[in-house]
Structure 1
Amino acid sequence: MEQKATRLLKGIVSDELLNSYTRLLAAGSCPRDEAPDLLGGAGQVEELTESGMAHIQSSGPALPQRLVPVPPDLALQGTLADLTRRLVADQERLLDGQRRIAESHPWTSSAATESADRLVRIITDREEIGTVSRALIRAARHDWMTLDNQSMERPIDELTAVPPPPSLDGHVRCRAIYESNCAGHPVGLRSIEIAVEAGEEARLLPRVGMKMKLADESIAMLPLTPTGMSGALLIRSSVIAGALREYFEMLWERAVPFGAACAESPLNEKEQKVLSLLVEGVSDTVIAKRTGMGLSTVRRHSATIRAKLGHNNHHFAAGVAAVRRGWIK
């Protein structure tokens, strides 16, 4: 693994940073507070994390944080993405150069020699799946897109709800589509709120059939099982990644924004509060618990709202109609 890292990163990053990275690879991981001693100072730890070659892993507030290296190929891709973000002033020249290369070497000619092993890889090691999943966001240059649902291997609690990574300082647009049930659980709801506060754009759908992580139209991760933790597919094929991008955009158009009620709504304050939860697809019982209203009161408000919207049978359909009328932002 250390030899592969040297082959991929030599000359791309400084020798000092490469030495720190290979030491971390050899160790596998280390407690965060011991990382400066292992790697040669706090500056090396900061540079590794900022360049996307390592990340801080936390399993929850009750457990110590660890510094974990990303796989060498993803470290290279994350480093290149970071370099691209730093070269904003030269971006047009970079893109123009890439277009010229594409014209000189069409995809049709390179596709014949492209290795299938490079385009698609099956991962079955649980630890590697977790590491790759967390590291993928660093490979995004423009867009980061995720699909998420409640398929988990253990009940959601404070330890499983780890805050999401940052939105890359605004250089990358981060969008997520959640299954509406995710917002029906207090911890799940708080996780979405944290992501939105960090700059993520979040929307809800009644059902999200699978989890997905997609960086631009270049690399994607799909689950081979409902949770994705015992088998995952890492895809670098631009054809498949492009199709997944189209799939995400279709779901994005159908999904309902996770947000506050609009001031122009014709509903009173209590009805507006109920509507903002109807749009998440949660039940009357959950709405009653979260608002402190009686169940009968919630049902009366729900019936009034749905009658005005013309959707008498389905809460989520009423939420969609409210969004389209501008009652929900």
Structure 2
Amino acid sequence: MSDPRSSDEPRSPLAHRVPDLGALELLLAVARLGSLGRAAREVGITQPAASSRIRSMERMLGVALVERSPRGSRLTDAGALVTDWARRVVEAAEAFDAGTQALRGRRDSRLRVAASMTIAEYLLPGWLIALRGLLPGTAVSLLAGNSAAVADRLRAGEADLGFVEGLDVPAGLDGAVIGHDRLAVVVAPGHAWARRRAPLSPAELAAAPLILRERGSGTRQVLDAALAGHGGLAAPLLELSSTTAVKAAVVSGAGPSVLSELAVGEELAARRLVEIPVAVRLRRDLRAVWPMGQRPTGPARELLSLTRG
């Protein structure tokens, strides 16, 4: 009859009762080479360290495994039996390692990035060129949209890493600030504001019909927050879904807008646009974001490190 206590008595974790892989690999090397010294050199440790590891394994198992003599080292009968078992464990570990390497290879073969429009157009190209130099075998796909759409894609598992502009980390995500951006009030040279000498007041900016990005964009979020205490934004003159479209409309003389200084640097330098001073702080954080509790790994981690460089 079996001991009824056997199924009820708590057992220590397997890791406390089974030698680690390093010890098993050392034992296999002793069996193959017939020498503790040669086995130690093969696994990259000193002979004293190898002797200590064998003794620790013998204490753990409660049997002698290796007999030492001036002519070398040989396995005891128990050692030979343990070696057979150890070989199966090591082979299983090698299969485990090969499988995890295959998983890492599949993970590292692609990177899905979602980015808000300004970052996608003006910052990501340089980062992705640098990433290509580090990981030439990684295929990168880029999904561009407003900050709200980027957050949605990450929460849905459709992107590995995202980039947004705005005031806060979107709900359900973790993130890190990677830079800052200033918003500029811009008009075409023929607009009445281009002849102003005094800065616009926040109330004047809030009351003016502007050419704006759609709700959900980081630019719109910052504007709404900055002007909330000054009557809020007036109804938009135009509402467009890309920075490029907004900029083209302003250059054509359709009306004023508020755009990232990243997006209008070339037009300001060429005098196709004029920046108008405004007496309100229009600044936002640029963030890398990812699903909550899931730190970026593989290519996503490499890309994140490049943005901080």
What TM-score, normalized by structure 1, do the two folds share? 0.21
Q: TM-score by structure 2 length?
A: 0.22
Higher helix share: 1
Structure index of larger Rg: 2
- Which has the larger share of strand? 2
Question: Greater RCO between the two (CA within 8 Å, min separation 6)?
Answer: 2
